[in-house]
Structure 1
Amino acid sequence: MLERTRGKNATEVTFLLPADHPHGQVSVVGDFNDWTPGAHPLAPREDGMRSVSVTIPAETRVRFRYLAEDGLWFDELEADGHDGTNGYLHT
């Protein structure tokens, strides 16, 4: 799931997943962090979800995916689209 807070010059995107699926540590990787695993790990929340927020400049398209333990890559169904390999967002 994605939540977006748009500002004048940037959009804060919050990436959300259930706390127990997939199991183990998950991070979001993409153009905004040079595809660095672990740079943006999702952290537990009190509502039973886990999340991480990333600020992306306005009028930007970024590609991203989730990376879970054991090298499991997976996509966000609520992305603005998919390019065949990665999801993408427009801010």
Structure 2
Amino acid sequence: MAIKKQYLKSKPVCKVTFSVPAEEAKTVAVVGDFNKWNPQKSSLKKLKNGTFKGTFELPVENSYEFRYLIDGNYANDSEADRFQWNDYAGTENAVLEV
């Protein structure tokens, strides 16, 4: 899994690209604070090499809790900026700082 950040000079947003190698998966989405945990708005596209990838523009100077939803199962990104305990989920969420 990988996270790439590209800060824009023209506006206060960061283009964040999420990449998830999951050849066997049918669907992968990234859900979090930035999309109200809605997988409908955050599906990643499957590339020919089996990696799922998607880019989102997020307002800067914020932190966002997020997780991947891979075929209905939640997973964290080991390359997240940090991890935060979430009482609602009863587990840690990955955190992205932009």
Confirm or deny a common fold (TM above 0.5): yes
Deviates more, 1:77-86 or 1:37-46: 37-46
Structure 2 residue corresponding to 1:41, chosen from 37, 40, 43: 43
Give the match for residue 57 of structure 2. Answer: 55
Give the match for residue 90 of structure 1. Answer: 97
Structure 1 residue corresponding to 2:23, chosen from 20, 25, 39: 20
Within 1, Cα distance between the matches of 2:27 and 2:47? 14
- Aligned-pair CA distance for 1:45: 2.8
Structural RMSD (CA):
1.5
Distance 1:72 1:79, change over 3 A: same
How many aligned residue pairs are there?
89
Rg comparison, structure with higher value: 2
> Runs in 1 of length 4+ with deviation above 4 angstroms?
none
Partner letter of residue 88 of structure 1? V
Contact 2:4 2:18 in 1 (8 A): yes
Within 2, Cα distance between the matches of 1:67 and 1:37? 8
Gaps of 5+ in 2: 86-91
Percent sequence identity over aligned pairs: 33
- Aligned-pair CA distance for 1:47: 5.1
TM-score (norm 2): 0.82
